[in-house]
Structure 1
Amino acid sequence: MDFVMSFLQERWFIIVAAIVVLFLVVRIVKTVVKWVIVLAVLAGLYFYGASYKDQLLDLGSVVSANVKNQAVSAFSNEMKDAQYKQNSDGTFTVTTKSLKLDGNPGSNEVKVTFMNQSFTMKLDDALNALIEQAKKNAKL
């Protein structure tokens, strides 16, 4: 339902144009053709709005990927200052100046908090390197 509100807020001019066209058709055309045109305009508006939902989903995945890439970049820049903490419940926490990793040993996913946003990432070489560096920093 959120995509409907986004569509209405960002594409209101299309809806206004459709209403004007419908109003003109209803006032000018006095036959069955009028209702065919009205249905065609409404169907076009419906399908245009339905494709807008897919555009929002694509935009969301692009933004998510961008934030994850920025987080990985921050990992590599802040590795030397990473701090490792073993929690009492068996989980671990790695913190740097701008991010925080929470995970379970042996799991292939960690919860990343970056720029006050939390998301889950699969462990890769960069994340494993950050965790290992944080462990080394904790031993020093």
Structure 2
Amino acid sequence: MLDLDLQVWTEFLKQNWLVIVVALVVLFLVLNFVKTVIKWALVLVIAACVIIYSGVSLKDIGDAVSTVKEQGIDKVAEISKTEALNMMKKEAAEAKMTRNPDGTFSITTPNLEVTGSEGADKVKVMFHGVSLGEWKISNALEVFIQEAKRNSQ
């Protein structure tokens, strides 16, 4: 429970602020009006109820936050890939290929950088300086590479 991040705690507090306030008011009343051992027993029972309740809720909230975060990252990657492919079409005429002695190449445009090896079936793509990972060479990428070769001769 201690390893949960701040986002989970803030989400829990937003959703359960009323329960926490009620628990604190009850604790305050118990501490002020009950002056025996029963007071501390009630404090422990109330604290245990809040902790048990929050433990279940925090786990659920943590799972939900993780799921939303993963879906968001996947969606951003999908949008970035689509934008990068559109940018390849637009900037193909400006693409310049640099061949290295070790058989690798690098294609650059104002917004893209594609690196790979001759004959490989995958290339690394960077869009606006952000890596989009390794892509399998598709028709669009093949056309982009061929255009860069023509521009560099």
TM-score, normalization by structure 1? 0.78
Q: Which of the numbers 122, 129, 133 marks the counterpart of 2:136?
A: 122
State the alpha-carbon separation in 2 of the partners of residues 45 and 20 from structure 1: 17
State the alpha-carbon separation in 2 of the partners of residues 50 and 123 from structure 1: 35
Divergent runs of 4+, >6 A: none
Q: Which of the numbers 125, 129, 137 marks the counterpart of 2:151?
A: 137
Tell me the alpha carbon deviations over residues 78-98 of structure 1, each in whole angstroms, 9 at most, x when there is no partner. 111111121122101111121
Question: 1:108 aligns to what?
Answer: 121
Q: Residue 41 of structure 1: CA displacement?
A: 3.6
Tell me the alpha carbon deviations over residues 14-63 of structure 1, each in whole angstroms, 9 at most, x when there is no partner. 27715435434555784997467422343123222222111111111111
State the alpha-carbon separation in 1 of the partners of residues 102 and 109 from structure 2: 21
Q: Residue 123 of structure 1: CA displacement?
A: 1.7
State the alpha-carbon separation in 2 of the partners of residues 13 and 32 from structure 1: 21
Question: 2:70 aligns to what?
Answer: 57
Let me know the Cα RMSD of the aligned residues. Answer: 3.0
Q: Residue 112 of structure 1: CA displacement?
A: 1.3
- When residues 104 and 8 of structure 1 are mapped into structure 2, their CA distance, relative to the original with a 3 A threshold, is farther
The runs of 5 or more residues in structure 1 that have no matched partner are none
Question: 1:14 aligns to what?
Answer: 14
State the alpha-carbon separation in 1 of the partners of residues 111 and 16 from structure 2: 45
Tell me the alpha carbon deviations over residues 83-135 of structure 1, each in whole angstroms, 9 at most, x when there is no partner. 11211221011111211111112222211121121222222111111001111
**Paired residue secondary structure (1:119):** strand
Aligned partner of 2:141: which letter?
L
Question: 1:75 aligns to what?
Answer: 88
Question: 2:35 aligns to what?
Answer: none
State the alpha-carbon separation in 2 of the partners of residues 125 and 61 from structure 1: 23
- When residues 113 and 55 of structure 1 are mapped into structure 2, their CA distance, relative to the original with a 3 A threshold, is same
Percent of matched pairs sharing the same residue: 27
The higher radius of gyration belongs to 2
Aligned partner of 1:98: which letter?
N
| Equivalent residue pairs, number | 137
State the alpha-carbon separation in 1 of the partners of residues 12 and 97 from structure 2: 51
